[in-house]
Amino acid sequence: MRHSLCLSVALAAGAVTSTVTGEEIRDTLVVTASRIPIPLVAAGSSVTVIDREQIEARQSVFAVDLLQDVPGFAVSRSGGIGSQTQVRVRGAEANQLLVLIDGIEANDPAGNDEFAFQDLTTWDVERIEVVRGPQSALWGSDALAGVVNVITRQPTGEFSAGGFAEAGAHDTYSAGGRLSGQVMGARAGFSLSRIDSNGSNSSRTGDEDDGYENTTATLTLAGSPSDSVDLGFFGRYTDTTKAFDTTDFGTGFPADSGDEADVGLGYFRAGGTLRLLEGRWTQSLRAAWTTTDTDNTNDFGSAGTTAADKYGLYYQTTWQFTPGRSEGTGNSVTLALDHEQQEFRQRGDVVVIDPDDPTQDLDPNQDQEMDTTAAVLELLLTPFERMSLSLSGRYDRNSDFDDVATFRATTSWTVESTRTRLRAAYGTGQKSPTFVDRYGFFANQFAGNPDLEPETSRGWEAGVEQPLWDDRVSLSATYFREDLEDEINAFAFDPDTFLFTAENLDGKSERRGVEVSARARVTDTLRLSGSYTYTDATQPDALTGEDVREIRRPRHTASINGDWRLSDGKTGLNVNLTYVGDQADTFFEVSPPFGTQTVNLDSYYLASIAASYRLTEQASIYARVENLLDEDYENVYGYNTPGIGAYAGLRLTF
């Protein structure tokens, strides 16, 4: 009954996740759905764009709060602010979603190839592009299920500045500032933000709050020595400290503890672009570096460290036979060559099994590395007016696995008479086993399996979009399906060591579903938006081979958003409602036979309200209430989430 009610409300309200109207869709360029920028209307894959206006209307401090309402997305948090946060797309695993920050691959090789969504703040973010479906043919292993591209605020030649300060629930204080202008002929931008929170208690018992601190700095430099050359540098570094609760091995549930993680995340890029023959021939070369370092401590001292570095060198050249138009990609061919090297380090105490036989010791101290060289070829074609095609292929040569080829084909066609847009995409994907799956070691818990094989997938989608009433309303529906083979189960029990390990599953994991969205510009000052997603994700049971429901994938999710601006342009009000249906999770038994139980997590609603008022051209005040309904819910079994909380702040621009 709750599912039907939520779906009916979403459709009646004209739901959507982006405030982009039909007219704006035709004028919007996206940089992630292809290796070169293309019009949004020409993309065959499902694309969602979250812009700066939407970020400020929602007052979202963390990007994941916005991503939770993207069709097909499911978010799992292990507690309160700063706790581990996983994002799954269309039933896929969290490490099968590639995250780019200004084009830099930001997934953490030492964090099981997942991105640290809990640490991604929005103060310096201009927009977020989300592309769903297999994208390995464009972006490689981590993009098996989709791509999230975080695009930061770019500097201009004119001086500008801004800042904010806010305070609220759980003794949370945050502030930030940014500067942009011209320095020695180059456009330069710098931003800095800080969050300090006492947090909330993540465990069901006890009263110890789990605090969180986050400091993020971003530097951007861009210049054009000539009309045909662009040069640039981008760097972003985040330093966080997070207290967290670990599992009590007497109960199997998290309990108050003195555990803490100090994490450093760095993303850096430098490169340039050369345009020749009146811009028809474009070449780019860039180097990138992603570095992560996690230092864990507990009441007894150090609890081990993990670190990783990913170095990349990327060359790309594009020949534009005919230029793109507002409703088509034009005709072009792109060749890209990517080379990446990953390094993984783990340090910790040696576990002595037999004092007389050192060969039996369990030693987590290790250094591992892997490199990949890839070639990408993409054709963009406009065979007919208002029709776009893309054909992409990628060949990866990996130092540790067999070579693999992936491909993708998409099409988008707009019917002139009704302005109906039909689109479809088909692609294959692959995901290399992670360093953690292969070599990771956690005392008394997990030992890696170096013999794992890559996961492979095939997926397709078909969608339709229909604008109505002079673009004031737009409806969209998409069906998707993806089959995954050799899925890696990271919770296989090894009877020889009594530890969990990783193994490839036999059979297919199947993921299919429907995404429905709509948007409505009710008046010049009121917009309604939202979405509904049905997801059915199953995997073969490791023992019986029968299909079982995958954990932390709710079958039903929905969202509704209303954004209202008074005619005076000074006052704004935003209301958001998110529904997450019931989902399965796993409980690990702490007594013989040390197996697992499948448990159910109840459905829940999350509501928030945000208001703002512009005092002057330079100053605005704002306030919001999160978890307005004070829902008591879990989306990871045993971990509490924060209750209702209010926040208020001041924003300045110059």
Reported as a single tens digit per residue, the pLDDT across 347-384 is 988 877 667 776 666 788 999 999 999 999 999 999 98
pLDDT at 11 over 70: no
Residue 304 φ/ψ region, left for φ over 0, alpha for ψ in the -120 to 50 degree band, beta for the rest: left
Burial pattern 305-336, b for ≥16 Cβ within 10 A else e, equals: bbbbbbebebebebebeeebbebbbbbbebeb
CA angle 128, 134, 137 (to 5 degrees): 100
Each residue's pLDDT tens digit, 417-445 = 999 999 999 999 999 999 999 998 776 67
| 8 Å CB contact between 120 and 141 | no
Please list the residues that pair with 45 across neighbouring strands: none
Tell me how far CA of residue 84 lies from CA of 110, 263, 302, 306, 402, in angstroms: 14, 12, 20, 16, 32
Within 10 angstroms of residue 452's Cβ, the number of other Cβ atoms is 21
159-183 average pLDDT score: 96
Q: Bridge partners of 212?
A: 197, 242
Q: Are the beta carbons of 330 and 322 closer than 8 angstroms?
A: yes
3-class DSSP state of 97? strand
Q: Which residue has the tokens 């998290």?
A: 254
Which stretches does DSSP call E strand in 227-328?
229-247, 254-276, 281-298, 301-322
pLDDT digit string, tens, across residues 91-111: 999 999 999 999 999 999 999
Of 166, 164, 169, 112, residue with least CA distance to 142? 112
The domain ranges of the chain are 2-325+336-653
Q: How confident is the model at residue 16 (pLDDT cuts 50, 70, 90)?
A: very low
Least confident of 25-34, 294-303, 501-510, 573-582: 25-34
Q: If you average pLDDT over residues 502-526, what whole number do you get?
A: 94
What percentage of residues in the chain have a pLDDT greater than 70? 94
Average pLDDT over residues 376-405: 95
Specify the CATH superfamily of domain 2-325+336-653.
TonB-dependent receptor, beta-barrel domain (2.40.170.20)
The model carries a pTM of 0.92
Closest by CA position to 467, among listed 394, 517, 397, 542: 517
Mean pLDDT (whole number) for 185-191:
94
pLDDT tens-digit series, residues 546-572: 899 999 999 999 999 999 998 788 999
Task: Please state, rounded to an integer, the average pLDDT across all residues of the chain.
Answer: 91
Q: Which DSSP state fits 203?
A: B
For range 244-267, the mean pLDDT: 91
Residue (of 553, 625, 629) closest to 585 by Cα position: 553
pLDDT band at 52; cut points 50, 70, 90 = very high
Q: Which residues pair with 113 in a beta bridge?
A: none
Confidence of residue 21 (pLDDT cuts 50, 70, 90): very low
Report whether 58 contacts 574 (CB < 8 A): yes
CB 403 within 8 A of CB 430: no
Which residue from 23, 43, 39, 56 is spatially nearest to 422, judged by alpha carbons? 43
Report H helices in 507-637: none
What would the mean pLDDT of 513-518 be, rounded to a whole number? 97
Q: Is 60 exceeded by the pLDDT of residue 132? A: yes
What pLDDT sits at residue 26? 53
Q: What are phi and psi for residue 148, nearest 5 degrees? A: -115, 120
The structure tokens listed for 343 are 């390094």
pLDDT score for 3: 40
Provide the residue type at 418 as one letter: T
Q: Judge whether residue 10 has pLDDT over 70.
A: no
pLDDT (tens digit per residue) in 324-344: 776 778 899 999 999 999 999
How many C-beta atoms lie closer than 10 Å to residue 108's C-beta?
24
In angstroms, the CA 439 to CA 433 distance is 10
Contact 626, 607 (CB under 8 A): no
pLDDT in the model for residue 334: 98
pLDDT surpasses 80 at 590: no
